[in-house]
Structures are given as C-alpha cells and as structure tokens.
Amino acid sequence: MNAEIRVAVALSGNPNSGKSTVFNNLTGARQHIGNWPGVTVDKKEGTARRGDHEFVVVDLPGTYSLTAYSLEEVIVRDFIAGERPDVVVDIVDASNIERNLYLTTQLMELGIPVIIALNMMDVAEARGIGIDAELLSELLGVPVVAMVGLRNKGTDELKDAIVSVIEGGTKFRGVQVRYGSEVEEEIEKLQRMLEEQERVSHELLGNYSPRWLVVKLLEEDERVEQDISRYCDKDSDVFRQLEESRRHLLSIFGEDVETVIVDMRYGFVAGIVHETVKREFEEAITTTDRIDKVLTDRILGFPFFALSMWLMFFLTFFLGKFPMHWIDRLMSGLGHLVESNLASPAWLHSLLVDGVIGGVGSVLVFLPQIFIIFICISILEDTGYMSRAAFIMDRIMHWLGLHGKSFIPMIMGFGCNVPAVMATRTLESDKDRMITILINPLMSCTARLPVYALFTAAFFATYQGTVTFSLYVLGVVLAVIMAKLFRKTLFRGESEPFVMELPPYRWPTAKGTFIHMWERASMFLRKAGTVILAGSVFIWLLSYFPPGVKYGSSQSIAGYIGRALAPLVKPLGFNWRAAVALLFGFVAKEIVVSTYGTLFGVGENRAAISAQLHHIFSPLTAYGFMAFTLLYTPCLATVAMIKKETGSWKWTAFAVSYSLLLAWLVAFLIFRVGRLIGLGG
C-alpha cells in the first residue's frame, strides 16, 4: 500500500454558495469546529479521503471579495497567504455566477492552485442558465467541476480534481486579470522594486504573490501597506514609486486606482460570463413584477398612493366610530360614577372628573382610530407597499435636489416624528440630513390624529376621512416646499444618486401586523398614562386656580395665560382657549385635545366638547386650527431628538421657530383667504 499523502484544502466562496454543504459532503462526520485565532468566527475543519490521499479541509468564512473591509475577508486572505494550502476550492453558485467569479479572480491572484466547484447547477438549469464548464475551465486556466451539493452530486469528481492538481495531472495556469497597459506598467515597476527589497523578498514574498501585493498596494489596502512597511521604510523607493504610480493613474483615468482595478475585474468577469453562459429563456415575470408595473408606474403610481392613503383615513374614521362610541360611554359612566359616589371635597371631584377623566379620557376615546391607523400602516409596510411609496415619492425628492432616502424618514414621520428624526442617520450627506430633520415634523404623526378626530367630528362629520387626508397632504406639500427652499438657501448642493432594492410583495401575517401595531399603540397608551395625565392635571390646576374663580374661565390662571397670548392668535380667528391648548400641546400634541377636555369642564363627553367648540370655532377656523396643530412647533420629544441628532441648539431653535412661523402663516392664509372667498369666519 502507498504511503498516505496529506493535502491541505481550503474551501472558499461567497456566502450562500453552498460551501458548508460541500464541506459536509467532503468530510462527512470527520469534522470539528473551533474559532479562528483571536476572533469568534467559527473555524470548521475536517478530513476526507480519496485513494491514498487524505485531505485536510478547512471551511473558510463566506466572502464576496478579498479586500480588508470585513473580518471574514481578512481571515480568508490571511489563511490562504499564511498557511499556503495546497489547493483552494472555490465554491461558485452557478445561478449567480457573475457575482461569484469576482472572488475567483482574486483567489487566482494569490498564486495558489484554484479549483472551481460549480455548485447549484440544478438551480441554474431551472432558471435557464446554461454554463459551458469546459470552456470556463479553458478560459480561466483552472479545473471546473460541476456539482449539486444538496444532492451530493460531483463530490467524487471534486476529490479527483484535487488529486489531479496535486499529482500534477492538471496544470494550474490561473489566468490573471490584465488591468490595461497603463496599470500593468505601474504594476511591473512596483513589482520589480519590491522584489529588489531584500527583507520584503525574504519575509513576505515566500507567502504572497508579488503581483497580488502590488495590486493591493495600488488599491490602497491598509493591511498590506502595514505589512510591507514593517520590512521597508515608508520613505523608500517602493513607497515613493507607489505614490507616483497612484498619481499618474489618477491623472489618466480620473478615478482612484482601486476603482480602475475593480472595474477591470468586473469587466474581465463580464467577458468570461459572456463567453460561457447562455440564458435559454428570459427570467420569468413574477407576481411582484406584474404588481409593480402598475404601482410604481410614473403616472399610475401617484394616484394609487393617494388612494391608499385616503382609504386608510376613511377606514380609520369609518371603522373607528363604533368602538369610539363604546369608550366614550365607558368614560362618561366612569365620570358619573365618580361624581355620584365619591364623598370628597369639590376640588377633588373637579380634579378627577374635569382634570383626569376629562383630560385623559378625551384623548383615550380616540384609541380605536389610533389602533386602526397603526394596523393600516403595518399592513402597508408588511406587504412591501411602503417601500414602493418611498420609491414613487423619490421622484419628487429628486426634483427637489433631496436624497431619495429622505422620503423614508418622512414616511416614518406618519407614525411618530421621534424615530423618524433618528432614521435620518441613514443619510450620508450632512446637508440632506439637516433638511430632512427640519422638514420631518411637518409630516403628520399619529399624535395629531386625536385633534383631527375631535375637530372633524365636530365640524366635518360627513367628510372626516377626506378632511384628515387633506391635512396629511398639506403636511407633505409644505415639507416639499420647505425642502426646496432650504436646498436653495441654507443647504446648497446636489444629492448623490440613489438606487433602491424593492422587496417582493408578501401577505402580511396577523401576528406580524399585531406586533407592529401593538409596539406603536402601546407607546401611545404609555403616553396617555404619563405625559397626557400629568399635562391634564397641570392644566386643571391652571383652570381651577385662583380659588373662587369660575372653573376654566378667563379669570383662571389658564385664562390669564390665554389672554396674554390671545393677540398672537387673534388674526387667525382663534380665541384665548386655543392659545392655551396650543401652548400646552407643545409637550405632546394630544394635550391639545385634553386641554379642551379640561378647560371646558364638561368631562370627556364628546358631544359636550363638540358643542363648546362650536361656540369658539367656525368650520373655517377649525380647519385653520388643525393646520396650525399639524405644522407648529414639534412636540417636546421630537425637539429633544432634533437636538440630539443635530448636536446644535441653533438648529433646534431654528426647527422650533420656523415651524411656528409657518403654522401661523398657513393658518392666517386659511382664515383670511377663506373669508375672502366666502367660506365664513
């Protein structure tokens, strides 16, 4: 029997290329798992046999390239260069061959024999992708083995290919990517100089291919630069030439060398794919494609988006009115119960009935609407439609000179402005980010919904959904106008191009929708039990004192504050009570509603509040008031988030003051123009 020949085999490949399956097929149960030195990434090792060859197989982490940007990439290249396995088996997903071959070109540059295991051939065939493995092998100068890892097909052929490479039956040529005469000239110069450096030659060139080192140096790979500088001074000829070569190539291509090299590699891969891959039929048109043809259409997309938003508000009010009525009755019953059974002083009665039940209860009755709107938003998100909405709206954002990503935080603002402001972190440009932060509070969050619900029920009962929808549209339109204005004045510049991945449509699951809805609705409930409760008690105090005055009258502290502010809101058609409600609504917008509930001293009774509102508002001023609530000063939590995200008191103050001014101007225009055209006053 022949002596056993040990062969070190490294398995490399893209994530999800079926590498682990091939590893299991090769090694069976003969494997163990450890860690790569110094890191917590799994290191799987195993053994396999073929004839008198024993393979020691190492499953390397999945990577797309051999740059030094991720831990996995560093592990792979350090292992291949440091351990110098006898063979690198590159697992290539045949159904995504173009992306996978990009790694192959880099593995071949390392100068170690490479075998391509063309895995998932069945998937490729099913997709109509035909690959000429023989031609691929010929063009790349490496053995290519077709495999179906999941069905353990091709494992023996792969073992044979490894043996053949080891025994010299298959010559490894490993075709190198040529980067064009200009780059090649510089590579040659640098390679020569590197080889002349005795210490570099002695310490590094035994492991690394000199060409690979030079290419990495040109690509500004920091790790390779560090490695070389250990054996060669930074002011040596090598580094001087490196700088000179980079400058020279930049002047020729107008791009940094890394971009040029990456582009050449992709070009090389594209050429190989062009020669060896035949697509027998066009990719099937999926249901998602068919739906997207309509929903993301330049013309049809907008009306569908508007219709879906309108439908959301219609459902919110149509379906919400029934449970709202039940909660209303429950709260009224609670108020009567307290009033008739609690033997306590008058002030405590008033605190509980007018302050707590009137304040918190007047907001809580809108809980059904809040729940329904959150369910609708969750469904739109979970189906994948919200991504399309962002896609459609991006055209407008682009026209504004804003980044397409800006609309995503804006859509989030429909839920709550606080996480939406936080989400602007996804924008790389500071200018885009500042504009998006500044306009975000103009997106109508759900905290404004109780205000709309209260006023539309009182003044626009037949068209509640449509009027609410118009306020959301008003917010978006003004956000767009302000964005354009900020771009033209405060934050000049162009935004970078934007590409979007659209996920496939999915049926939302009941559980998922409920989780999303509950996460948001519970925040509202917590707010009702904390901020709104505290705000209601505070407003009750201001309405009740000084002792002896009529509750909530103009002689109370609230009345005093309101009268002081009244001249500011009088041109808008509002009275002092509106001034108080808006003042305290700064803490949280729902407090606008609870303030009225408390100030009127009629408990949470919606009909009574509605009747009181009719005394101080007309439909025109009610609409102006809703617009003011939508646009003015973001709530306290949003202001805190703006400060945190901008890191500037100046911009926080600007966000507060410009929105206040905008709200005043819009409410003023609604009132004045409305009166001019005979809409009352």
CB of 16 to another protein, least distance (A): 10
Nearer of residues 432 and 604 to another protein, judged by Cβ: 432
CA atoms of 71 and 69, how far apart (whole Å) = 7
Q: Please answer whether residues 5 and 53 qualify as being in contact, where contact means their C-beta atoms are separated by less than 8 angstroms.
A: yes
Minimum CB distance to another protein, residue 217 (Å): 18
Closer of 497 and 678 to another protein (Cβ)? 497
CA dist., res. 145 & res. 447, Å (int): 61
Please list, in sequence order, all residues whose beta carbon lies within 8 angstroms of the beta carbon of residue 572, skipping any fewer than 6 positions away: 621, 624, 625, 628, 664, 667, 668, 671
* CB nearer to another protein: pick between 157 and 256: 256
Cβ atoms 380, 389 nearer than 8 A? yes
Q: Which is nearer to another protein, 92 or 108 (CB)?
A: 92
User: Which residue, 116 or 572, is less far from another protein as judged by CB?
Assistant: 116
What is 193-220 written as a DSSP string?
HHHH-HHHHHHTTTTS-HHHHHHHHHTT
Considering the complex, state which of residue 298 and residue 615 has its C-beta at the smaller distance from another protein. Answer: 298
Residue of 23, 218, 213, 12 whose CA lies nearest to 103:
12
Distance of closest approach, residue 55 Cβ to another protein, in angstroms: 30
Name the minimum Å distance from CB 304 to another protein. Answer: 16
Sign of the Cα torsion 623, 628, 630, 631 reads positive
C-alpha distances out from residue 105 to 66, 88, 277, Å? 10, 12, 17
Nearer to another protein, 50 or 405 (CB): 405
Tell me the closest approach of the beta carbon of residue 112 to another protein, in angstroms. 23
The owner of tokens 């797309």 is 64
Residue 614 CB, nearest approach to another protein (Å): 39
Give the shortest CB-588-to-another protein separation in angstroms. Answer: 17
Find residue 59's DSSP bridge partners.
Answer: 11, 44
- Taking residue 669's Cβ as centre, other Cβ atoms within 10 Å add up to 13
**Measured from the CB of residue 506, what is the shortest distance to another protein in angstroms?**
6
Bridge partners, 6 (sequence order): 54
From residue 348, alpha-carbon distances to 253, 338, 342, 621 in Å are 80, 10, 9, 35
CA distance 612 to 618: 11
The CA distance from 418 to 636, in Å, is 10
Give 142's DSSP letter. S
Query: Beta strands 42-50 and 31-35: pairing type?
Result: antiparallel
- Shortest Å distance, C-beta 477 to another protein: 18
398 in Cβ contact with 404 (< 8 Å): yes
Please identify, using beta-carbon distances, which residue of 397 and 663 lies nearer to another protein: 397
Minimum distance of another protein from residue 262's CB (angstroms): 6
User: For another protein, which is the closer residue by CB, 96 or 176?
Assistant: 96
Burial class (CB in 10 A: 0-12, 13-18, 19+), 204: buried
Q: How far is the CB of 18 from another protein (least distance, A)?
A: 14
Question: Which residues make Cβ contacts (< 8 Å) with residue 528, sequence separation at least 6?
Answer: 360, 363, 364, 590
Closest to another protein by CB, 205 or 273: 273
**To 5 degrees, how large is the angle CA 498–CA 489–CA 491?**
40
Q: How far is the CB of 263 from another protein (least distance, A)?
A: 5
Q: Which is nearer to another protein, 411 or 593 (CB)?
A: 411
- Burial of 592-631, coded b for 16+ CB within 10 Å and e otherwise, reads bbbbbbbbbbbbbbbebbbebbeebbbbbbbbbbbbbbbb
**What SS3 class is residue 130?**
strand
Nearer CB in complex with another protein: 389/667: 389
If the CB atoms of residues 360 and 476 are measured against another protein, the closer one turns out to be 476
Tell me whether residue 127 or residue 349 sits nearer to another protein (CB atom).
Answer: 127
- For the bound state, the minimum distance from the C-beta of residue 511 to another protein, rounded and expressed in Å, comes to 8
How near is the Cβ of 405 to another protein at its closest, in Å? 5
End-to-end CA separation in angstroms for the chain: 106
Q: Quick one: 141 or 180, whose CB is closer to another protein? A: 180
The residue behind tokens 């009529």 is 550
With tokens 């097929």, the residue in question is: 25
CB of 49 to another protein, least distance (A): 35
Closest to another protein by CB, 99 or 563? 99
Q: Are 57 and 9 in contact (CB under 8 A)?
A: yes
What is the layout of strands, in order, in the sheet containing 31-35? Answer: 31-35, 42-50, 53-59, 5-13, 87-93, 114-119, 144-146
Nearer to another protein, 52 or 428 (CB): 428
Task: Give me the least distance between CB of 480 and another protein, in Å please.
Answer: 14
**In the bound complex, what is the minimum distance in angstroms from residue 268's beta carbon to another protein?**
10
**b (16+ CB within 10 A) / e for 323-351:** ebeebbeebbebbeebeeeeeeeeeeebb
Smallest CA-to-CA distance from 208 within 309, 329, 83, 300 is with 83
